[in-house]
Amino acid sequence: MITLQHCRTGIAIAAMFAASGGFAATGDKTDYKAAKDRISAEYKADKAACDKFNGNQKDICVEQAKGKEKVALAEAEYNYTGKAATPTRWWSRRPTRATQWRRKCATTRAAMPRKSA
């Protein structure tokens, strides 16, 4: 039985979902450009700090700086636009059942001994 309290709860939840979309994109272009400039400066400083290392340690340090820059740029873009920079598409990376079957058959045929005529 639906009571008045259930209706109020449903309306409150619907209002929260409707209002959440408006708060996603709160940044403006000047803030976004300033954030990009700050991130670029931080990346250059982090990369310059990697010069004291050599070999594998330097490679790791540079990759960490690149990763930190990418994450910061993605966060800045999300704060500006309100949506993810690159949407994840799990279905595009998964092989289809037909592809899986072809791969299984190809490996099975390769493993089978050939009959000599």
> What is the mean pLDDT of the segment spanning 45-74?
94
pTM above 0.75, yes or no: no
pLDDT at residue 61, rounded to an integer = 94
pLDDT at residue 32, rounded to an integer = 92
Q: Is residue 47's pLDDT more than 50? A: yes
pLDDT at residue 68, rounded to an integer = 95
pLDDT at residue 55, rounded to an integer = 93
From 91, 93, 73, select the one nearest 81 (Cα to Cα).
Answer: 73
DSSP for 68-97, written as a single string: HHHHHHHHHHHHHHSS-SS---HHHHSPPH
What's the mean pLDDT when you consider all of the chain?
A: 75
